Amino acid sequence: MSDVVFGRTVAESQAERSEIIFPADSNALGNLFGGRLMQYIDLVGAMAASRHARAIVVTASMDHLDFVAPVKVGELLILKASVNRAYRTSMEVGVRAMVEDVREQKLRHVSSAYLTFVAVDQAGQRLVVPALIPETEHQKRRYEDAARRREMRSEETQRKKEMRALQVGGFQV
């Protein structure tokens, strides 16, 4: 594993996925299942992370998943993913899901999420990923915001470890 410093721009790894929503993907109200939307978000996020790392990636976490509006049967779902920040072996990817009104050529925001992916080799060992080079002001803001979210995730992980340490016989003390 090399520690050579190298980087890629946000644009080099962006990913997009489109899906038409069918009845098999929906609940009794004709709305896309939340779990199916999560699957689509995970897939497009993995595409962006894999493009950035030029490697296999695995999902480490999904957080800040917001379901803003329902997606109905027959609608065209557009998902866009960008790497927000890269660390040594992991990357934060932001995914935005929208419904396209093809007649009026308008997009309606339906969901957003932040995911963390880790690059691995065929044996599942972590790989060093390229640095991210944000170019636009928007990309630079997302880059800085990702650092704050990482700090919050780290604090939450520590809090959970401490809570588990307090558990006795399956019950919390």
DSSP 96-119: EEEEEETTTTEEEEEEEEEEEEEE
61 part of a folded domain: yes
Token pair 């007649």: residue: 103
Average pLDDT, integer, range 94-103: 94
Q: What pLDDT digit, counting tens, does each position of 1-33 carry?
A: 444 448 999 999 999 999 999 999 999 999 999
Task: Give the pLDDT band (50/70/90) at residue 159.
Answer: confident
What is the structure's pLDDT at 162? 82
In 121-165, beta strands by DSSP E:
131-133
pTM of the predicted structure, to 2 decimals = 0.87
What is the domain count for the chain? Answer: 1
pLDDT on residue 171: 59
pLDDT of residue 156: 84
Question: 76-96 in b/e burial notation, b at 16+ Cβ within 10 A?
Answer: ebbbbbbbbbbbebbbbbbbb
Q: What is the pLDDT of residue 2?
A: 47
Residue 1 domain-assigned (yes or no) = no
What domain range is 97 assigned to? Answer: 7-172
Q: What is the CATH number of the domain that holds 154?
A: 3.10.129.10
Q: What is the mean pLDDT of residues 130-140?
A: 97
Name which residue leads in pLDDT, 160 or 67.
Answer: 67
What percent of the chain lies above the pLDDT cut of 90? 79
d(CA 61, CA 150) in angstroms, rounded, equals: 11
Determine which of 66-75, 100-109, 164-173 has the lowest per-residue pLDDT on average: 164-173
The answer to whether residue 58 sits within a structural domain is: yes
Does the residue 2 lie in any domain?
A: no
Q: What is the mean pLDDT of residues 58-84?
A: 95
CB atoms within 10 A of CB 160: 10
Tell me how far apart the alpha carbons of residues 148 and 139 are, in angstroms, rounded to a whole number.
15
* Radius of gyration of the CA atoms of the chain, in A: 18
In a domain, 53, yes or no: yes
**CB-based contact 39:77 (threshold 8 Å):** no
Please, which pLDDT band fits residue 69 given cuts at 50, 70 and 90?
very high
The confidence band for 168, taking pLDDT boundaries of 50, 70 and 90, is low
96 occurs within a structural domain: yes
Q: In the predicted model, what is the mean pLDDT of the chain?
A: 92
